[in-house]
Chain A
Amino acid sequence: DTGVSQDPRHKITKRGQNVTFRCDPISEHNRLYWYRQTLGQGPEFLTYFQNEAQLEKSRLLSDRFSAERPKGSFSTLEIQRTEQGDSAMYLCASSQGVPDTQYFGPGTRLTVL
């Protein structure tokens, strides 16, 4: 499978715990995005990487959220001290070139109890 992959697919955690998600983009895609989707809403942009550089973060991304993309390949999204409001589907997408067509991974569904 050469698409975008995400791990884990589901995560249940208790409030206050830290969680980390991983995204592996399509090979050689230099752009990588994280989005968050809650029930009944479209995905909302969180952050964007071009290669290893994090170029933009949404104001939705509080200080408890951090994302990295070492060496411009896979990316991780960490949420510290999780809150119930963090419960959502976390989607990763990757793209390359112009026009920029973003392809999404299967997502990680986070449930904070």
Chain B
Amino acid sequence: EDKVVQSPLSLVVHEGDTVTLNCSYEVTNFRSLLWYKQEKKAPTFLFMLTSSGIEKKSGRLSSILDKKELFSILNITATQTGDSAVYLCAVQSGGSNYKLTFGKGTLLTVNP
């Protein structure tokens, strides 16, 4: 059974800080790893990672995957209060079912 573990489960920082969120996984047949942001509503897609060592970047957010060590990190630089949310990591295994297996998420709180 696929498994995703995120750490820390919660994090409180001040505006301007840089944060690193961690995601480790076990999957029988890896297809991709996805990051989502959830603000009291539906998860919003951030990144999809399929290859090791290639950084994906969008503004102040970036993410990288290590398929050998089975983990990914999500970095947020110069945090803003609007970054406060739950960040979800999910893995997608191969085969005919594209279902996602999610971790519990990291609750990030950015204080002014």
**Which of the candidate stretches B14-22, B41-49, B59-67, B71-79 sits at the interface with the other chain?**
B41-49
Is A70 close to B, CB under 8 A? no
Is B80 close to A, CB under 8 A? no
Q: How many A-B residue pairs have CB under 8 A?
A: 61
The reply to whether A48 and B98 form a contact with Cβ atoms under 8 Å apart is yes
Distance between A90 CB and nearest chain B CB, rounded to angstroms: 11
- Which of A's residues lie within 8 Å of B, judged by CB? 4, 31, 33, 35, 40-45, 48, 50, 55-56, 91, 95, 99-107
The reply to whether A100 and B32 form a contact with Cβ atoms under 8 Å apart is yes
| Bound complex: CA A95 to CA B100 (Å) | 12
Among A45, A95, A100, A107, the residue within 8 A (CB) of B42 is A107
Distance between B96 CB and nearest chain A CB, rounded to angstroms: 6
Chain B CB count within 10 A is highest, among A91, A102, A106, for A102
